[in-house]
Amino acid sequence: MQRLAIVTVFFAAVGAFAHDFLGAESCQACHPDAYAAWQASAHARAKQVLSPQQQKDVRCQSCHSPDEASQKVANVTCETCHGGGQFYSSTYVMKDAELARLVGLLDPNEKACRSCHDNASPSLKPFDFASKLKAIDHWTVERARRKATQK
Ligand code: HEC
Ligand code: HEC
Ligand code: HEC
Ligand code: HEC
């Protein structure tokens, strides 16, 4: 309870969540395997599939590079799904699951995917959450590494 109060005061003081993205490279140092998997995925080049003209079109940006205008971070990145990392990405916060979530870490779910993978996206098949989730797996290797280092 006391911690919540401190966090609340902290946010009021810094004007929380304005420009709180750090970029995918900031996650890379501590999550190299997740980074590598993301880098190989379509999300890491979602902006590049657009023509230069389309890259400036806010309609296309809204799914292909949604944080570019407000956060200066292009493509669909770690923080598009997990939330801006400025306040949660120090080691002591990251190791405290509850605190990390209090200061911005999000748990992406099916609804989050569907904010982009909806009927307006040019897919021929309807979005199948389970199989699409498998296609962006960057957690199995992270969890295995964590288990190994905890032994
Ligand atoms: C200074 C190192 C560091 C940085 C930078 C960092 N993390 Fe972490 N992260 C950790 C540690 C340590 C854990 C705790 C679990 C573990 O040991 O792997 C963790 C856990 C997580 C978890 C799982 C949290 C949970 O409770 O389920 C997610 C998701 C995550 N990080 C995402 C990110 C993202 C996205 C970024 C970049 C914005 C980032 N991290 C930056 C060290 C870091
Ligand atoms: C509602 C979100 C959304 C909007 C808005 C959107 N897209 Fe997409 N787009 C997607 C998704 C999701 C995919 C991937 C679909 C799939 O393969 O399942 C995609 C795929 C594409 C692809 C195919 C990329 C490839 O690897 O083959 C192109 C090209 C594309 N979009 C162009 C555009 C353009 C141009 C605009 C703006 C006029 C736009 N999109 C607007 C969500 C969106
Ligand atoms: C398209 C959305 C999306 C993007 C982009 C994304 N993630 Fe994730 N991430 C997820 C989802 C969803 C899960 C949880 C999957 C599950 O539990 O089934 C997850 C899980 C994780 C975990 C493991 C958490 C745990 O509980 O063990 C880490 C660490 C992580 N992501 C870090 C990153 C990093 C670092 C990046 C960028 C290099 C990134 N993610 C990009 C959606 C995303
Ligand atoms: C901010 C918008 C956005 C969100 C949120 C998002 N995606 Fe995507 N996703 C895209 C775009 C845009 C593409 C197409 C990029 C390309 O073709 O280069 C894409 C492509 C993909 C692809 C590769 C193409 C395909 O359909 O097989 C997979 C898999 C995928 N997304 C899974 C997910 C999952 C799972 C989630 C939720 C955890 C998610 N995405 C959340 C925008 C998004």
The model's pLDDT over 78-88, given as tens digits with 9 standing for 90+, comes to 999 999 999 99
Range of the domain at 58: 2-150
Q: What is the CA radius of gyration of the chain?
A: 17
CA of 108 to the centre of ligand 3 (A): 8
CA distances (Å), origin 23, targets 56, 73, 79, 109: 20, 6, 7, 21
How many domains, the chain? 1
Pocket test for ligand 3, best of 25, 26, 47, 78 (most atoms within 8 A of CB): 78
Beta strands in 81-142 (DSSP E): none
Residue nearest to atom 25 of ligand 4 (CA): 132
CA distances from 116 to 25, 53, 132 (A): 23, 20, 13
* pLDDT tens digits, 20-43: 999 999 999 999 999 999 999 999
Pocket test for ligand 1, best of 82, 94, 98, 150 (most atoms within 8 A of CB): 94
Cβ contact 85:21 at 8 Å = yes
Quote the pTM value: 0.93
Residue identifier of the C-alpha nearest atom 29 of ligand 4 = 132
Q: How many angstroms separate the alpha carbon of residue 91 from the centre of ligand 1? A: 7
Query: Which residues are CB-contacts of 150 (< 8 A; sequence separation ≥ 6)?
Result: none
CB of 117 within 6 A of ligand 2: the answer is yes
Cα of 64 vs centre of ligand 4, distance in Å, is 9
pLDDT digits (tens, 9 = 90+) for 89-132: 999 999 999 999 999 999 999 999 999 998 777 676 889 999 99
